[in-house]
Protein backbone atom coordinates (compact mmCIF):
# COMPACT_ATOMS: atom_id res chain seq x y z
CA UNK A 1 0.00 0.00 0.00
CA UNK A 2 1.00 3.64 -0.23
CA UNK A 3 3.49 4.98 2.33
CA UNK A 4 1.58 8.20 2.66
CA UNK A 5 -2.09 8.72 3.16
CA UNK A 6 -4.82 11.23 2.54
CA UNK A 7 -4.36 12.91 5.93
CA UNK A 8 -0.66 13.60 5.31
CA UNK A 9 -1.45 15.24 1.98
CA UNK A 10 -4.35 17.27 3.36
CA UNK A 11 -2.14 18.49 6.22
CA UNK A 12 0.52 19.55 3.71
CA UNK A 13 -2.10 21.27 1.54
CA UNK A 14 -3.54 23.15 4.52
CA UNK A 15 -0.08 24.25 5.61
CA UNK A 16 0.73 25.65 2.17
CA UNK A 17 -2.71 27.23 1.75
CA UNK A 18 -2.53 28.85 5.19
CA UNK A 19 0.97 30.17 4.53
CA UNK A 20 -0.24 31.67 1.27
CA UNK A 21 2.37 29.73 -0.71
CA UNK A 22 -0.43 28.46 -2.96
CA UNK A 23 -4.09 29.39 -3.36
CA UNK A 24 -5.38 26.06 -4.71
CA UNK A 25 -4.28 22.54 -5.40
CA UNK A 26 -4.69 19.88 -8.03
CA UNK A 27 -5.81 16.67 -6.42
CA UNK A 28 -8.03 13.64 -6.74
CA UNK A 29 -11.68 13.84 -5.83
CA UNK A 30 -13.61 11.05 -4.16
CA UNK A 31 -15.82 9.04 -6.51
CA UNK A 32 -18.81 6.75 -6.16
CA UNK A 33 -16.47 3.85 -5.52
CA UNK A 34 -12.85 3.41 -4.44
CA UNK A 35 -11.63 3.27 -8.03
CA UNK A 36 -13.35 6.18 -9.86
CA UNK A 37 -11.44 9.17 -8.52
CA UNK A 38 -11.46 12.38 -10.60
CA UNK A 39 -8.74 15.03 -10.96
CA UNK A 40 -10.07 18.29 -9.52
CA UNK A 41 -8.99 21.69 -8.25
CA UNK A 42 -9.37 22.16 -4.50
CA UNK A 43 -9.29 25.10 -2.13
CA UNK A 44 -9.55 25.05 1.67
CA UNK A 45 -13.34 24.87 1.29
CA UNK A 46 -13.68 21.53 -0.44
CA UNK A 47 -10.70 19.55 0.89
CA UNK A 48 -13.17 17.15 2.47
CA UNK A 49 -13.67 15.59 -0.93
CA UNK A 50 -9.93 15.14 -1.50
CA UNK A 51 -8.88 11.52 -1.64
CA UNK A 52 -5.63 9.64 -2.01
CA UNK A 53 -5.50 5.92 -2.61
CA UNK A 54 -3.93 3.43 -5.01
CA UNK A 55 -6.28 4.42 -7.82
CA UNK A 56 -4.88 7.97 -7.94
CA UNK A 57 -2.77 7.23 -11.00
CA UNK A 58 -3.65 10.24 -13.16
CA UNK A 59 -0.57 12.24 -14.13
CA UNK A 60 -1.28 15.89 -13.28
CA UNK A 61 1.59 17.39 -15.27
CA UNK A 62 -0.51 18.05 -18.36
CA UNK A 63 -3.28 19.71 -16.35
CA UNK A 64 -0.73 22.33 -15.29
CA UNK A 65 -0.78 23.82 -18.80
CA UNK A 66 -4.39 24.94 -18.43
CA UNK A 67 -4.25 25.49 -14.68
CA UNK A 68 -1.26 27.85 -14.68
CA UNK A 69 -2.97 30.02 -17.31
CA UNK A 70 -5.84 30.69 -14.92
CA UNK A 71 -4.00 32.66 -12.27
CA UNK A 72 -0.65 34.19 -11.39
CA UNK A 73 -0.87 32.57 -7.97
CA UNK A 74 0.90 29.28 -7.44
CA UNK A 75 -1.01 26.02 -7.67
CA UNK A 76 0.02 23.09 -5.50
CA UNK A 77 0.50 19.80 -7.28
CA UNK A 78 1.41 16.42 -5.82
CA UNK A 79 3.71 14.52 -8.13
CA UNK A 80 4.58 10.84 -8.08
CA UNK A 81 8.10 10.04 -9.33
CA UNK A 82 6.90 9.15 -12.86
CA UNK A 83 4.87 12.38 -13.04
CA UNK A 84 8.00 14.47 -12.39
CA UNK A 85 9.55 13.31 -15.69
CA UNK A 86 6.51 14.59 -17.60
CA UNK A 87 6.68 17.79 -15.53
CA UNK A 88 10.28 18.40 -16.61
CA UNK A 89 9.59 17.49 -20.22
CA UNK A 90 6.74 20.02 -20.37
CA UNK A 91 9.07 22.64 -18.89
CA UNK A 92 11.67 21.78 -21.52
CA UNK A 93 8.99 22.46 -24.12
CA UNK A 94 7.99 25.74 -22.39
CA UNK A 95 4.43 24.55 -21.92
CA UNK A 96 3.80 26.14 -18.52
CA UNK A 97 5.27 28.70 -16.17
CA UNK A 98 7.34 26.98 -13.46
CA UNK A 99 6.91 30.02 -11.20
CA UNK A 100 3.18 29.36 -10.97
CA UNK A 101 3.55 25.87 -9.55
CA UNK A 102 4.51 24.53 -6.15
CA UNK A 103 5.40 20.87 -6.66
CA UNK A 104 5.42 18.44 -3.76
CA UNK A 105 7.00 15.10 -4.58
CA UNK A 106 5.24 12.14 -3.02
CA UNK A 107 6.49 8.56 -2.85
CA UNK A 108 4.59 5.88 -4.76
CA UNK A 109 4.40 2.16 -4.20
CA UNK A 110 2.63 1.53 -7.47
CA UNK A 111 -0.99 1.97 -8.48
CA UNK A 112 -3.64 -0.73 -8.79
CA UNK A 113 -5.24 -1.65 -12.11
CA UNK A 114 -9.02 -1.86 -11.78
CA UNK A 115 -9.16 -4.05 -14.90
CA UNK A 116 -7.06 -6.65 -13.07
CA UNK A 117 -9.40 -6.45 -10.10
CA UNK A 118 -12.35 -6.94 -12.45
CA UNK A 119 -10.63 -10.07 -13.67
CA UNK A 120 -11.20 -11.49 -10.16
CA UNK A 121 -14.73 -10.16 -9.73
CA UNK A 122 -16.98 -7.92 -11.78
CA UNK A 123 -19.00 -6.71 -8.78
CA UNK A 124 -16.54 -4.78 -6.65
CA UNK A 125 -18.07 -3.20 -3.56
CA UNK A 126 -14.82 -1.93 -2.06
CA UNK A 127 -11.06 -2.34 -2.29
CA UNK A 128 -8.79 -2.22 0.78
CA UNK A 129 -5.15 -1.73 -0.09
CA UNK A 130 -2.32 -3.54 1.63
CA UNK A 131 0.38 -6.10 0.94
CA UNK A 132 -2.62 -8.33 0.49
CA UNK A 133 -5.40 -6.43 -1.23
CA UNK A 134 -8.89 -7.17 0.09
CA UNK A 135 -11.72 -6.92 -2.40
CA UNK A 136 -15.21 -6.88 -0.95
CA UNK A 137 -17.64 -7.98 -3.65
CA UNK A 138 -21.41 -7.82 -3.97
CA UNK A 139 -22.01 -11.48 -4.74
CA UNK A 140 -18.68 -13.32 -4.44
CA UNK A 141 -17.80 -12.58 -0.82
CA UNK A 142 -14.35 -11.26 0.09
CA UNK A 143 -11.52 -11.95 -2.34
CA UNK A 144 -7.86 -11.39 -1.49
CA UNK A 145 -4.91 -11.05 -3.80
CA UNK A 146 -1.21 -10.31 -3.54
CA UNK A 147 -0.76 -6.62 -4.28
CA UNK A 148 1.84 -7.32 -6.96
CA UNK A 149 -0.71 -9.23 -9.03
CA UNK A 150 -3.03 -6.22 -9.19
CA UNK A 151 -0.45 -3.57 -10.02
CA UNK A 152 -0.77 -1.62 -13.25
CA UNK A 153 1.68 -2.72 -15.94
CA UNK A 154 3.55 0.57 -15.82
CA UNK A 155 4.05 0.14 -12.07
CA UNK A 156 5.26 -3.44 -12.36
CA UNK A 157 7.88 -2.04 -14.74
CA UNK A 158 8.47 1.18 -12.80
CA UNK A 159 11.53 2.92 -14.21
CA UNK A 160 12.21 5.25 -11.29
CA UNK A 161 11.27 5.98 -7.71
CA UNK A 162 13.34 9.15 -7.94
CA UNK A 163 11.71 12.57 -8.18
CA UNK A 164 13.46 14.61 -10.85
CA UNK A 165 11.56 17.81 -10.03
CA UNK A 166 10.04 19.20 -6.85
CA UNK A 167 9.96 22.16 -4.51
CA UNK A 168 9.70 19.89 -1.53
CA UNK A 169 9.53 16.19 -0.89
CA UNK A 170 7.38 14.16 1.45
CA UNK A 171 9.37 11.14 2.60
CA UNK A 172 12.68 9.84 1.32
CA UNK A 173 13.55 10.08 -2.37
CA UNK A 174 14.05 6.79 -4.22
CA UNK A 175 16.38 5.68 -6.98
CA UNK A 176 16.22 5.13 -10.70
CA UNK A 177 15.35 1.46 -11.02
CA UNK A 178 16.74 -1.32 -13.11
CA UNK A 179 13.39 -2.20 -14.64
CA UNK A 180 12.33 -4.88 -17.07
CA UNK A 181 10.34 -2.45 -19.14
CA UNK A 182 12.00 -3.39 -22.44
CA UNK A 183 11.48 -7.16 -22.09
CA UNK A 184 8.23 -7.13 -24.03
CA UNK A 185 9.77 -4.89 -26.72
CA UNK A 186 12.58 -7.41 -27.08
CA UNK A 187 10.11 -10.23 -27.36
CA UNK A 188 8.28 -8.41 -30.16
CA UNK A 189 11.59 -7.66 -31.90
CA UNK A 190 12.41 -11.36 -31.85
CA UNK A 191 9.24 -12.19 -33.81
CA UNK A 192 9.16 -12.44 -37.59
CA UNK A 193 7.69 -9.40 -39.37
CA UNK A 194 4.53 -11.41 -40.10
CA UNK A 195 4.13 -12.39 -36.46
CA UNK A 196 4.73 -8.85 -35.34
CA UNK A 197 2.20 -7.57 -37.86
CA UNK A 198 -0.33 -10.10 -36.57
CA UNK A 199 0.31 -8.95 -33.00
CA UNK A 200 -0.38 -5.30 -33.79
CA UNK A 201 -3.22 -6.13 -36.15
CA UNK A 202 -4.94 -7.96 -33.30
CA UNK A 203 -4.29 -5.24 -30.75
CA UNK A 204 -5.10 -2.24 -32.93
CA UNK A 205 -8.19 -3.88 -34.41
CA UNK A 206 -9.90 -2.95 -31.14
CA UNK A 207 -9.08 0.75 -31.46
CA UNK A 208 -12.23 2.85 -31.58
CA UNK A 209 -10.46 6.16 -32.17
CA UNK A 210 -11.73 7.67 -28.94
CA UNK A 211 -8.44 9.62 -28.75
CA UNK A 212 -8.15 9.07 -25.00
CA UNK A 213 -4.48 8.07 -25.42
CA UNK A 214 -3.75 11.32 -27.20
CA UNK A 215 -5.87 13.49 -24.94
CA UNK A 216 -4.23 12.22 -21.76
CA UNK A 217 -0.66 12.16 -23.15
CA UNK A 218 1.59 14.82 -21.56
CA UNK A 219 3.64 14.86 -24.77
CA UNK A 220 0.52 15.63 -26.86
CA UNK A 221 0.07 19.31 -26.17
CA UNK A 222 -0.39 20.79 -29.63
CA UNK A 223 -2.96 23.57 -29.57
CA UNK A 224 -4.52 22.00 -32.65
CA UNK A 225 -3.87 18.35 -33.42
CA UNK A 226 -3.67 17.24 -37.05
CA UNK A 227 -6.31 14.64 -36.20
CA UNK A 228 -8.73 17.42 -35.22
CA UNK A 229 -8.29 19.29 -38.47
CA UNK A 230 -10.96 18.41 -41.05
CA UNK A 231 -8.71 19.74 -43.80
CA UNK A 232 -6.00 17.21 -42.96
CA UNK A 233 -8.16 14.34 -44.18
CA UNK A 234 -7.15 12.58 -40.98
CA UNK A 235 -9.51 14.22 -38.51
CA UNK A 236 -10.64 12.23 -35.51
CA UNK A 237 -13.97 10.42 -35.36
CA UNK A 238 -14.17 6.80 -36.30
CA UNK A 239 -11.47 5.25 -38.40
CA UNK A 240 -12.60 4.94 -42.00
CA UNK A 241 -10.74 1.67 -42.41
CA UNK A 242 -8.23 -0.63 -40.73
CA UNK A 243 -5.34 1.38 -42.08
CA UNK A 244 -6.46 4.60 -40.41
CA UNK A 245 -6.22 3.06 -36.95
CA UNK A 246 -2.61 2.13 -37.50
CA UNK A 247 -1.84 5.44 -39.15
CA UNK A 248 -3.12 7.28 -36.10
CA UNK A 249 -1.03 5.32 -33.64
CA UNK A 250 2.09 5.28 -35.80
CA UNK A 251 1.98 9.03 -36.40
CA UNK A 252 1.42 9.61 -32.71
CA UNK A 253 4.32 7.37 -31.73
CA UNK A 254 6.63 9.20 -34.14
CA UNK A 255 5.47 12.58 -32.94
CA UNK A 256 6.19 11.86 -29.27
CA UNK A 257 9.45 9.99 -29.97
CA UNK A 258 12.28 11.47 -27.91
CA UNK A 259 9.74 13.37 -25.80
CA UNK A 260 7.76 10.44 -24.38
CA UNK A 261 8.88 9.84 -20.78
CA UNK A 262 7.17 6.42 -20.67
CA UNK A 263 4.66 7.57 -18.05
CA UNK A 264 2.22 4.94 -19.27
CA UNK A 265 -0.92 7.09 -19.25
CA UNK A 266 -1.80 6.00 -22.81
CA UNK A 267 -2.17 2.37 -21.78
CA UNK A 268 -3.84 3.24 -18.49
CA UNK A 269 -6.67 5.11 -20.20
CA UNK A 270 -7.14 2.89 -23.26
CA UNK A 271 -10.68 1.57 -22.81
CA UNK A 272 -9.88 -1.30 -25.18
CA UNK A 273 -6.75 -2.31 -23.26
CA UNK A 274 -4.34 -1.89 -26.17
CA UNK A 275 -0.70 -1.93 -24.93
CA UNK A 276 0.09 1.38 -26.61
CA UNK A 277 3.13 2.02 -24.39
CA UNK A 278 4.97 -0.70 -26.34
CA UNK A 279 5.10 1.50 -29.43
CA UNK A 280 6.70 4.28 -27.41
CA UNK A 281 9.10 1.94 -25.64
CA UNK A 282 10.30 0.63 -29.00
CA UNK A 283 11.26 4.19 -29.94
CA UNK A 284 12.90 4.81 -26.56
CA UNK A 285 14.93 1.63 -26.88
CA UNK A 286 15.98 2.42 -30.44
CA UNK A 287 17.09 5.91 -29.40
CA UNK A 288 19.06 4.38 -26.51
CA UNK A 289 20.70 1.85 -28.81
CA UNK A 290 21.47 4.20 -31.67
CA UNK A 291 22.41 7.42 -29.87
CA UNK A 292 23.23 6.45 -26.29
CA UNK A 293 20.97 6.25 -23.24
CA UNK A 294 18.50 9.08 -23.00
CA UNK A 295 15.59 9.56 -20.63
CA UNK A 296 13.16 12.30 -21.63
CA UNK A 297 12.31 14.54 -18.70
CA UNK A 298 15.26 13.45 -16.54
CA UNK A 299 16.34 17.07 -16.57
CA UNK A 300 14.91 20.34 -17.83
CA UNK A 301 16.37 21.62 -21.09
CA UNK A 302 17.92 18.41 -22.36
CA UNK A 303 17.76 17.89 -26.10
CA UNK A 304 16.49 14.56 -27.37
CA UNK A 305 19.15 12.89 -29.55
CA UNK A 306 16.81 12.88 -32.53
CA UNK A 307 16.45 16.67 -32.52
CA UNK A 308 20.12 17.24 -31.77
CA UNK A 309 22.89 16.86 -34.35
CA UNK A 310 26.32 15.72 -33.30
CA UNK A 311 29.14 14.55 -35.52
CA UNK A 312 29.12 11.21 -33.71
CA UNK A 313 25.54 10.55 -34.79
CA UNK A 314 24.75 7.26 -36.35
CA UNK A 315 24.18 7.42 -40.12
CA UNK A 316 20.52 6.66 -40.94
CA UNK A 317 21.58 3.74 -43.13
CA UNK A 318 23.49 2.29 -40.19
CA UNK A 319 20.42 2.59 -37.98
CA UNK A 320 18.38 0.66 -40.52
CA UNK A 321 21.07 -2.01 -40.81
CA UNK A 322 21.37 -2.44 -37.05
CA UNK A 323 17.62 -2.65 -36.70
CA UNK A 324 17.45 -5.34 -39.37
CA UNK A 325 20.13 -7.31 -37.60
CA UNK A 326 18.49 -6.90 -34.21
Rounded Cα–Cα distance for residues 261 and 200 (Å) = 22
Q: Is 228 in the site for another protein (CB under 8 A)?
A: yes
**At a CB cut-off of 8 Å and minimum separation 6, what does 296 contact?**
85, 89, 258, 259, 260, 261, 262, 284, 302, 304
Q: Is 31 in the site for another protein (CB under 8 A)?
A: yes
Binding mask 83-112 for another protein (x = CB under 8 A): ------------------------------
Provide the b/e sequence for 212-234 (b: ≥16 CB within 10 Å): bbbebbbbbbeeebbbeeeeeeb
Task: Compute how many residues bind another protein; rule: CB under 8 A.
Answer: 45
Our CB check for another protein shows the closer of 41 and 177 to be 41
Rounded to whole angstroms, the Cα distance separating 209 from 68 reads 29
Binders of another protein among 168-187, rule CB under 8 A? none
Q: What string marks each residue from 41 to 60 as x (binds another protein by CB under 8 A) or -?
A: x----------------x--
Closest separation between CB of residue 236 and another protein, Å? 6
323 binds another protein (CB under 8 A): no
Q: How many residues does the chain have?
A: 326
Q: Is 318 in the site for another protein (CB under 8 A)?
A: no
Site string for another protein, 269-308 (x = CB under 8 A): x-xxxx----------------------------------
CA-based diameter of the chain, in Å? 65
Contact predicate 116/179, CB 8 Å: no
210 contacts: CB under 8 Å, gap ≥ 6: 271
Which residues make up the interface to another protein (CB under 8 A)? 31-33, 35-41, 58, 63, 122-125, 138-139, 202-203, 206, 208-212, 214-216, 228-230, 235-241, 268-269, 271-274
Amino acid sequence: MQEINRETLIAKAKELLDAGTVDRLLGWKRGEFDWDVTPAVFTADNLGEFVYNSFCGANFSKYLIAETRKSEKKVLVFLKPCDTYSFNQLLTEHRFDRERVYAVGIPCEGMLDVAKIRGLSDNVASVTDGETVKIETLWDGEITSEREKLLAERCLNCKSKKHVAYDELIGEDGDVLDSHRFDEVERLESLTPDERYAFWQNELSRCIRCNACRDVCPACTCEKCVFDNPNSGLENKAAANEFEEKLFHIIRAFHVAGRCTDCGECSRVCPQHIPLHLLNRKFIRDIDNFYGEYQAGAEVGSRAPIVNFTTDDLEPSEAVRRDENA
